[in-house]
Amino acid sequence: MNDRYVLEMKGISKSFGATQALDNINFQLKKGEVHALLGENGAGKSTLIKVLGGVHRPDKGEIYIEDKNVVMNEIEDAQKAGVGIIHQEIVLVPYLSVTENIFLGREILTPLHTRDMKKMNSKAKEMTERLGLDIDVTTKVGTLSIAQQQLVEIVKAISFDIKILVMDEPTSSLSDEEVHKLFEIMEKLKADGVSIIYISHRMEELFAVTNRVTIMRDGTYVGTVETQETNTDELVGMMVGRSLTNYYTRDYNMSNTEVLRVENLTQKGVFEDISFSVREGEILGFSGLVGAGRSEIMQAIFGNEKYSSGTIFLNGKELKFKNSMDAIKNGLALVPEDRKKQGLTLINTVAFNLSLVSLDALKKGGLINNGKKDRMVDKYVKDLNIKTASVESPVSSLSGGNQQKIVLGRWLATNPQVLILDEPTRGVDVGAKAEIYSIINDLAKEGMAIIMVSSELPEIINMCDNVCVVKDGRITGRLTKEEMNQEKIMHYATGGQ
């Protein structure tokens, strides 16, 4: 054994029926390092973490923590061994306080065997202050922002006196400012000797905070590299098994023909005086911090939310959509921010999800024309390169990237003139991102007017013709392709004029 490592996972294998999820995986984590675990959706990252966290028992292999062979039969074994996991999905109890969540299931009791809230609040406050967090520990978790809830998850994890912290896509719902705060906390944890396994699809984050990167592909170990000795192209190539020469694909051929124009759109208390236009073949970006009001603006344009004043023009004709079905009939489509909650019926099949919005168009004599439906489903599975065993497979069995392609295909099947994409690559691996960028580029080349809402600045800068920057429900800045860079966008997103 090597005493430099706080964790060694050796020869870990795990199968589920005929599916080999992990095949002889080796992974080492040094004390006080941030080590990225990188791979496409379905590469085996989550399964490996669940083995470490006591959720799955490996078929073969050994785990060593500080040179001691440990057996993770259940979650409690991992906690006792000093492993804490921050999952991508928040797992706190919203109606309990911060303190109650931290000590849930292991409350401190008084001599009379009642909860000693005074002592628990004091200890919770001590832990939040240790990380420099300004959170009232008596506050109910459900009233906190997503970013604050993420931080509570970290406090809960370190309350177990952890040696190893796993962070799975911790920044997927955070603004740039909140990401910066998270990185500061990670530095404090490192200084305290905590070792961190960091899972993210955002390449810029890996280069900002990690020391090493381990790449997995199809349940196998590909390799481990020093972060400062590699680059995005090399990591992507190791992930997907081939070179991606064009990560961002963009041909600029915007016309002068206006498709959608919005004038002075206002929803009191949410957004105000929103005006912009989108032309054929244009990709118009909407940037800003999380909570700036971008998604709310798009939902109002699409007819899902009411607005108090303002005007929407489509092809020069003034329209007021009563609801989203009205918007769809007039040629608008919206790929929503949260595909699992707003975009998909996970228990249903690929075919069901792809055809759901187009059922009226697929009818013949009041009945669904199954032949027409099958042809449409097959077309989008092929055109979007959706990887699925069968169109009758449940969507829940697919990777995040393929799920996102299904949401996109569902809306493309309505033949829209205007396509609104809200966070189109959130939680999607690098290979799938490149494919989605290529699809978006092809749609723009064909003349579709596209609005792209994104919190990822490299995505905005590399894919958009123009960008509107939103802060507190107002457009604070507009930049052309030639003008936009990260500094200018953040200047307007944080209040600059």
The residue written with tokens 């009379």 in the block is: 112
The rounded mean pLDDT for the chain is: 87
**Same structural domain, 416 and 300:** yes
**Same structural domain, 289 and 220:** no
**Same structural domain, 236 and 263:** no
Whether 246 is covered by a domain: the verdict is no
Virtual torsion, Cα 161, 68, 86, 158, nearest 10 deg: 10
Q: Could you tell me the CATH number of the domain that includes residue 125?
A: 3.40.50.300
Which one of 240, 271, 304 terminates a domain? 240
Write a three-state SS string for 30-44.
ECCCEEEEECCCCCC
| CA distances, 148 to each of 46, 122, 128, 164, 175 (Å) | 24, 19, 11, 21, 12
Which one of 240, 273, 291 terminates a domain? 240
Whether 428 is covered by a domain: the verdict is yes
DSSP three-state, residue 271 = strand
Instruction: Please check the confidence at residue 3 and state whether its pLDDT lies above 60.
Output: no
Instruction: Please check the confidence at residue 246 and state whether its pLDDT lies above 80.
Output: no
Whether 251 is covered by a domain: the verdict is no
Domain assignment of residue 479, given as a range: 258-493
**Same structural domain, 166 and 295:** no
Whether 145 is covered by a domain: the verdict is yes
Q: What pLDDT is stored for residue 497 in this prediction?
A: 54
* Contacts of 141 by beta carbon, 8 Å cutoff, 6+ apart: 92, 93, 94, 95, 96, 97, 98, 101, 149, 152
**Same structural domain, 188 and 309:** no
Q: Of 32-41, 207-216, 242-251, 262-271, which gets the smallest average pLDDT?
A: 242-251
- Burial category of 365 from C-beta neighbours within 10 Å (exposed 0-12, middle 13-18, buried 19 and up): exposed
Q: What pLDDT is stored for residue 407 in this prediction?
A: 85
Q: What pLDDT is stored for residue 1 in this prediction?
A: 39
The residue written with tokens 């240790």 in the block is: 130
Whether 248 is covered by a domain: the verdict is no
Ramachandran region, residue 454 (left: φ > 0; alpha: ψ -120 to 50; beta: rest): beta
Using a pLDDT cut of 90, give the percent of the chain over it. 44
**Same structural domain, 181 and 270:** no
Instruction: Please check the confidence at residue 469 and state whether its pLDDT lies above 60.
Output: yes
Provide the CB-side half-sphere exposure for 174 (13 A, CA): 22
Which one of 240, 275, 304 terminates a domain? 240
* Contacts of 130 by beta carbon, 8 Å cutoff, 6+ apart: 188
Instruction: Please check the confidence at residue 39 and state whether its pLDDT lies above 90.
Output: no
**Same structural domain, 265 and 190:** no
Q: What pLDDT is stored for residue 339 in this prediction?
A: 67
User: Nearest Cα to 304, choosing from 344, 332, 281?
Assistant: 332
pLDDT digits (tens, 9 = 90+) for 89-142: 778 899 999 999 999 988 999 998 899 999 999 999 998 888 888 889 999 999
**Same structural domain, 23 and 106:** yes
Query: How confident is the model over 176-185, as a mean pLDDT?
Result: 82
